[in-house]
Structure 1
Amino acid sequence: MTESLLPEGIHTVEMIFADVFGILRGKKVPAAQWARAQHEGSHIPGAPLYWGVRCECPDESPAGGMDEGYPDMVIMPVPETLRTVPWRPGIAQVWCEIEDEHGNPSPLCPRNALKDVLREFEVDGIDAKIALEMEFYLLDRETFQPLMSNMNTYGVYDSSPYDAVLTDMMKNLVDYGLPVEAGMQEYGTGQMEITLRYDSALRAADDAILMRSAVKELAAKHGLVATYMAKPFDNESGSGLHVHQSLWKDGKNLFDAADGPSEYAMHYLGGLQKRIGEFSLLGSWSVNDYKRRQDFTLSPTTDSWGGDNRTVAIRMIEAHGSYRFEQRDACSTSNLYLTVAGQLAAGIDGVRNAVDPAPRCELNAYTDPTAKRLPRTVLEGIAALEGSDLARKVFKPLLVDTYVDTVRREYDAIMQPVSEIERARYIGAV
Structure 2
Amino acid sequence: MTELRNNRHLTMERLLDLIGTAKVDTVIVAFTDMQGRLQGKRLHGQYFKDVVVPHGTEGCNYLLAVDVEMNTVDGYAISSWEKGYGDMEFVLDERTIRLLSHLPATAMVQCDLVWPDHSPVVQSPRTILTSQLDRVAERGWQALAGTELEFIAFDTTYEAAHDAGYRDLRPVNQYNVDYSILGTSRVEPLLREIRNTMYAAGLDVEGAKGECNFGQHEVGFLYADALTTADNHAVYKNVAKEIAAHQGKAITFMAKYNEREGSSCHIHLSLRGQDGELLFWKDGARTPLYDQFVAGILATVADFTLLYAPNINSYKRFADGSFAPTTIAWGLDNRTCAVRLVGHGAGARMENRIPGADVNPYLALAAMVAGGLHGIENELELEPPLEGNAYTSGRPKVPHTMQEAREAFSSSAIARATLGDEVVDHYANMADVELAAYNAAVTDWELHRGFERL
TM-score calculated relative to the size of structure 1: 0.96
Find 2:231's aligned residue among 198, 206, 224: 206
Find 1:395's aligned residue among 402, 415, 419: 419
- Root mean square deviation of aligned Cα: 1.7
One-letter amino acid of the structure 2 residue matched with residue 226 of structure 1: I
Write out per-residue CA displacement over residues 28-57 of structure 1, whole angstroms, 9 at most, x where no aligned residue. Answer: 221212232123221210111121111111
Partner of 1:95: 110
Q: Distance in 1 between matches of 2:75 and 2:378?
A: 39
Q: Is the 8 A contact 1:107 1:113 kept in 2?
A: yes
Q: Distance in 1 between matches of 2:93 and 2:326?
A: 39
Q: Is the 8 A contact 2:173 2:186 kept in 1?
A: no
Partner of 1:215: 240
One-letter amino acid of the structure 1 residue matched with residue 399 of structure 2: P
One-letter amino acid of the structure 2 residue matched with residue 390 of structure 1: I
Q: Distance in 1 between matches of 2:431 and 2:96?
A: 30
Partner of 1:361: 386
Report the 3-state secondary structure (helix = DSSP H, G, I; strand = E; otherwise coil) of the residue aligned with 1:37: helix
> Which runs of no fewer than 5 residues in structure 2 stay unpaired?
3-11, 162-168
Find 1:66's aligned residue among 81, 94, 97: 81
Asked if residue 23 in structure 1 is aligned to residue 51 in structure 2, the reply is no
Report the 3-state secondary structure (helix = DSSP H, G, I; strand = E; otherwise coil) of the residue aligned with 1:279: helix
One-letter amino acid of the structure 2 residue matched with residue 27 of structure 1: K
Q: Larger deviation: 391-400 or 89-98? A: 391-400
Q: Is the 8 A contact 1:153 1:186 kept in 2?
A: yes
* 1:240-259 to 2 correspondences below 5 Å: 240-249=264-273, 250-259=275-284
Q: Is the 8 A contact 1:281 1:382 kept in 2?
A: yes
TM-score calculated relative to the size of structure 2: 0.91
Partner of 1:163: 188
Deviation for aligned residue 1:320: 5.4
Q: Distance in 2 between matches of 1:248 and 1:377?
A: 35
Q: Is the 8 A contact 1:147 1:160 kept in 2?
A: no
Q: Is the 8 A contact 2:342 2:351 kept in 1?
A: yes
Partner of 1:154: 179
Write out per-residue CA displacement over residues 50-109 of structure 1, whole angstroms, 9 at most, x where no aligned residue. Answer: 211111111442322122221211112122321111011211101111000101111121
Q: Distance in 2 between matches of 1:336 and 1:218?
A: 21
> Which runs of no fewer than 5 residues in structure 1 stay unpaired?
none
* 1:26-425 to 2 correspondences below 5 Å: 26-35=40-49, 36-139=51-154, 140-141=156-157, 142-143=160-161, 144-158=169-183, 161-234=186-259, 236-249=260-273, 250-319=275-344, 322-369=347-394, 371-425=395-449
Report the 3-state secondary structure (helix = DSSP H, G, I; strand = E; otherwise coil) of the residue aligned with 1:247: strand
Q: Distance in 1 between matches of 2:128 and 2:249?
A: 34
Deviation for aligned residue 1:145: 3.4
One-letter amino acid of the structure 2 residue matched with residue 88 of structure 1: L
Q: Distance in 2 between matches of 1:319 and 1:223?
A: 43
Deviation for aligned residue 1:407: 1.9
Q: Is the 8 A contact 2:184 2:209 kept in 1?
A: no
Q: Larger deviation: 312-321 or 24-33? A: 312-321
Report the 3-state secondary structure (helix = DSSP H, G, I; strand = E; otherwise coil) of the residue aligned with 1:75: strand
Q: Larger deviation: 331-340 or 2-11? A: 2-11
One-letter amino acid of the structure 2 residue matched with residue 17 of structure 1: F
